[in-house]
Amino acid sequence: MKNIFELARLTIKMSLGLTFMIFSIISALFVLSSVMYFTMPQLNRFNLEAPSVNAAAMGVSTINIFLIFFSVFFAFSVLSRQFSRESLLFLLSKPLDRSQVLLGSSLGLMFVFLLYWLILSLEVAAIISIFDKSYLFNALNALVPVVLLIPLYTSLCIFLFSLWPNILCAAFVFLFIFTSIARFDIITLVSQVNLAWFTKLIEASFLLLPPVGQVMGISLKALGLTDASINIPQVILNSIFIFVFLHLLGARRILRAFSNL
Amino acid sequence: MREKIVEIENLCKHYDKPAGLFSKERIFALDNLNLYIKRGDIFGLLGPNGAGKTTMLNIISGLTRQSSGQVRVLGDNSGLRPKLKKFEIGYLSEENVLPDYLSLQELLSFLANIFGFNSQLRAKRIGWLSEQLELASFINKRIQNLSAGQKRLAGLACAFINDPQLLILDEPTVYLDPLGARKLADLISSFKDQGKTVIISSHILSQVEKLCGQVAILKRGKLMFYGDIKTLGSKGSLEDSFIELTTD
């Protein structure tokens, strides 16, 4: 166990570099733009919600979308560095085994995602508390469930990395998850132009990864943007199931691929 | 009688290479090798490029599985799991790849933690290595900013960190200047004096001649010579014997 934490520390050190900083700054700027809902009240006329609701909703969706970008493009580069033949040759010549390297990388990545989520969530909370302190509790209730997406995205990256460890796959993952999350909007949009096959494709991707949509449902409910009944323990269980399932599947393939250097 | 620290019996390693749509060609990287290495020996592994030296070292260090045959490492401890054996093995690979986002100090601390050293032992060991390999001038620099020679010294420090019983060095003097090579030779000699075993794969015959008592020469996975280096050089120079054994 100690070795796994040491490897996780190694992954964190590898991750917290310039790319992490650039990603954080860009996404922080996007989150910051939610201030516009308070400074330009005419923006709220589109959906007739209060500025704090719109600002919090924008914060939550920005975190989620950037988390996808971040997990896909960032996690893939970290995994491909850690699981290169040369890097493994070095690590495995020490008293470490392949499964420890994989678990350490996964744990390290989850910590980096958590740090990223924390930075952006604090920013959203700060914005809400500056402009409308009374709405802070709701905003926090919407931000916390996003944590559930971190292990989900990590396991998805590991699984897809095991299938096809290159950036094309990363792009595929991005489309896959993005369509899962944005399914309602896209389905509405697409059904108007009557592209039934596309709607089915999106629905199928939603079926493959239901917890992502469900987690976002919890956040939207906390903001009062949906009346749908959501069974939170069930969502947590689904997330854990998908996390474990994808992790095991990915781990099995990666460990097999590197069983003989 | 010194104990055998590495025993290799009928060792084969082959790869299947696609040769057409439905057929495969079997390539033997190692073909029926038999040899042993005794505790306290400095053993030289020689051979032209592609002879199978690195494959053999990877098998001994537990990084690659053999296709058939027996490999017993660390004598009586043969029952130990490969991961536990690695506590007793120091390995330097031919490729000079280290986690370049760390400083050498951080890397050595990471490895010391992996080997279960407490903070006192860790500091002592890193201090000793820093002195022996003259790492002080670059120990706090990021590995990506080091020269090739400094990276090689860093790799050597990583191989020595756990004070291993068996040290496996694949082309250790590549990138090292003559002074660095001399220091390494001295370190290896002192290692032997402590009753530890070293396996060196190298192309530099003069260095092997100076350091090693026993040598094996491989050619396309086959053992062409195995024994005392004095027997090998008795008919002329070591270089002449090497060329005679490894050319078709």
For chain B, what is the domain count? 1
Cα(B215)–Cα(B209) distance, integer angstroms: 9
Range name among B8-12, B121-125, B229-233 with the lowest pLDDT average: B229-233
pLDDT at position A190, please? 42
Instruction: List, for residues B198-220, the tens digit of each pLDDT value.
Output: 999 988 888 888 888 888 988 88
Q: Who has greater pLDDT, B121 or B97? A: B121
Question: Which residue of A lies nearest to B101 if distances are taken between CA atoms?
Answer: A14
Q: Is A1 on the interface with B (CB under 8 A)?
A: no
Q: Which of A7, A12, A92 is the mutation pick for testing B, counting most B CBs within 10 A? A: A92
Question: Which residue of A lies nearest to B160 if distances are taken between CA atoms?
Answer: A94
Tokens of A233: 């323990």
Q: Which of A11, A16, A21, A93 is the mutation pick for testing B, counting most B CBs within 10 A? A: A93
Report the gap between the CA of B116 and the closest CA in chain A (Å): 9
Helices (H) then strands (E): counts for chain A: 14, 0
The torsion angles phi and psi of B140, rounded to 5 degrees, stand at -95, 0
Cα(A98)–Cα(B218) distance, integer angstroms: 30
* Contact pairs from chain A to chain B, CB under 8 Å: 56
Cα(A87)–Cα(A8) distance, integer angstroms: 15
pLDDT at position B112, please? 92
Report how far apart, in Å, the C-alpha atoms of A207 and of each of A173, A177, A210 are.
15, 11, 5
User: How do strand B42-46 and strand B197-201 relate by DSSP bridges?
Assistant: parallel
Report how far apart, in Å, the C-alpha atoms of A102 and of each of A2, A106, B84, B145 are.
14, 6, 19, 27
b/e map of A134-153 (b: 16 or more CB within 10 Å)?
Answer: ebbebbbebbebbbbbbbbb
Q: Which of A77-91, B64-78, B83-97, B130-144 has the highest mean pLDDT?
A: B130-144
pLDDT at position A125, please? 92
Q: Is A194 on the interface with B (CB under 8 A)?
A: no
Instruction: List, for residues B44-55, the tens digit of each pLDDT value.
Output: 998 888 888 888
pLDDT at position A195, please? 42
Are B95 and A89 inside 8 Å of each other by CB? yes
Q: Who has greater pLDDT, B241 or B59? A: B59
pLDDT at position A257, please? 73
| CA angle, A97 then A103 then A105, to 5° | 100
Cβ contacts (< 8 Å) between B115 and chain A: which residues? 94-95
Beta bridge partners of B70: B9
Tokens of A208: 């493959």
- Helix (H), strand (E), coil (C) string for chain B: CCCEEEEEEEEEEEEEEECCCCCEEEEEEEEEEEEEEECCCEEEEECCCCCCHHHHHHHHCCCCCCCEEEEEECHHHHHCCHHHHHHHEEEECCCCCCCCCCEHHHHHHHHHHHCCCCHHHHHHHHHHHHHHCCCCCCCCCEHHHCCHHHHHHHHHHHHHCCCCCEEEEECCCCCCCHHHHHHHHHHHHHHHHCCCEEEEECCCHHHHHHHCCEEEEEECCEEEEEEEHHHHHHHCCHHHHHHHHHCC
Give the DSSP letter string of A191-254: HHTT-HHHHHHHHHHHHHSHHHHHHHHHHHHHTT-------HHHHHHHHHHHHHHHHHHHHHHH
pLDDT at position A184, please? 46
Query: Smallest Cβ distance to B95: which of A86, A95, A259?
Result: A86
* A19 in Cβ contact with A74 (< 8 Å): yes
Beta bridge partners of B35: B8
Report how far apart, in Å, the C-alpha atoms of A258 and of each of A86, A162, B126, B159 are.
11, 11, 31, 22
Chain A 80-99, residues with CB within 8 Å of chain B CB atoms = 86-87, 89-90, 92-97
Query: What is the largest distance, in Å, between two alpha-carbon atoms of chain A?
Result: 63
For residue B218, which of B8, B7, B30, B26 has the smallest C-alpha distance? B30
Query: Smallest Cβ distance to A10: which of B87, B93, B99?
Result: B99
Cα(B202)–Cα(B242) distance, integer angstroms: 12
Question: Which residue of B lies nearest to A81 if distances are taken between CA atoms?
Answer: B99
Are A92 and B63 inside 8 Å of each other by CB? yes
Cβ contacts (< 8 Å) between B87 and chain A: which residues? 95
Question: Which residue of B lies nearest to A82 if distances are taken between CA atoms?
Answer: B99
Question: Which residue of B lies nearest to A4 if distances are taken between CA atoms?
Answer: B114
Residue-number span of the structural domain to which B81 is assigned = 4-246
Are B98 and A95 inside 8 Å of each other by CB? no
pLDDT at position A116, please? 92
Are A10 and B110 inside 8 Å of each other by CB? yes
pLDDT at position A235, please? 76
* A91 in Cβ contact with A3 (< 8 Å): no
ipTM, two decimals, is: 0.82
Cα(B93)–Cα(A261) distance, integer angstroms: 12
User: How do strand B197-201 and strand B166-170 relate by DSSP bridges?
Assistant: parallel
Residues of chain A with pLDDT under 70: 45-48, 165-211, 226-228, 259-261
pTM: 0.81
User: How do strand B166-170 and strand B89-92 relate by DSSP bridges?
Assistant: parallel
Cα(B74)–Cα(B164) distance, integer angstroms: 11
Mean pLDDT of chain A: 77
